[in-house]
Amino acid sequence: MAERILMNEFKTLAQEPWVNIELDNDDIFNWTVGLIVVNPDSLYYGGYFKAAMKFPKNYPYSPPEFRFLHPLYHPNIYPDGKLCISILHSPGEDEMSGELASERWSPAQRVESVLISILSLLDDPEVSSPANVDAGVLLRKEPEKYKAIVRNCVEASKADIPEHFVMPTHQTSVSAVKQPELDDSDFWVESDVDDDVFGGSDSDEALDSDDRDTGSEDEDDHERV
């Protein structure tokens, strides 16, 4: 079952412009991931962050492992590239960390939700319990220096872009989202609507009759005056 689920997820993600995935030695349980930041407002915009994902044999009942293959300066990323992120922690509540079960891994999660959570983490770090203490302190006290280091990481990451891979932009990512196709049945035309529903022609005739009656009364009033 794990192989089938992972293959389906692999095929789905292969259509996404913000991620580039290759299988290590055609092993569906070991992926090399190129995570691409396409949000122009992100400090990590334009980066191609290469990572390894390893899936357990009982996936999706246990979470995958994720590790960036090159240093990425961030409060929640350890020097060895591993992340401190709840979604990759084993299912169930953890009284020690205070993490709720809803924040951690569950069999309902998928690779896409993990990758999206990681992209969100890049721009919204949790500095209260950092994996990289120095990065957490620098972000709080000297944010401009922090940003300069991150920009260097982004530029260095571009060396991992595969030779024939075309980096997406924000525009290509947006255009890749399919819009629903509409046909004539998705629109109603006024002439096709049953007159009875909205008071129809009978109501219009009644209104005209009322207007005529009102007009007659007005004429009588003028004559009496």
- Selection from 171, 174, 187, 160 nearest residue 49 by Cα: 160
Q: Does 172 or 193 have the greater pLDDT score?
A: 172
Q: pLDDT digit string (tens) for 108-129?
A: 899 999 999 999 999 999 888 8
- Selection from 140, 118, 108 nearest residue 44 by Cα: 118
What is the set of active-site residues? Answer: 84
User: For residue 18, which amino acid is it?
Assistant: W
Q: pLDDT digit string (tens) for 51-84?
A: 999 999 999 999 999 999 998 999 999 999 999 8
Domain ranges of the chain: 1-89+111-169
Q: pLDDT digit string (tens) for 31-50?
A: 999 999 999 999 999 999 99
Q: Does 167 or 209 have the greater pLDDT score?
A: 167
Least trusted range by pLDDT, from 19-23, 76-80, 100-104, 183-187: 183-187
The Cα 69–Cα 46 span in angstroms is 17
- Selection from 121, 101, 120, 98 nearest residue 109 by Cα: 101
- Selection from 62, 41, 36, 26 nearest residue 115 by Cα: 36
Q: What is the dihedral of CA 172, 6, 104, 136, to 10 degrees?
A: -50
pTM of the predicted protein model: 0.72
Beta bridge partners of 22: 32
Class of domain 1-89+111-169: alpha beta
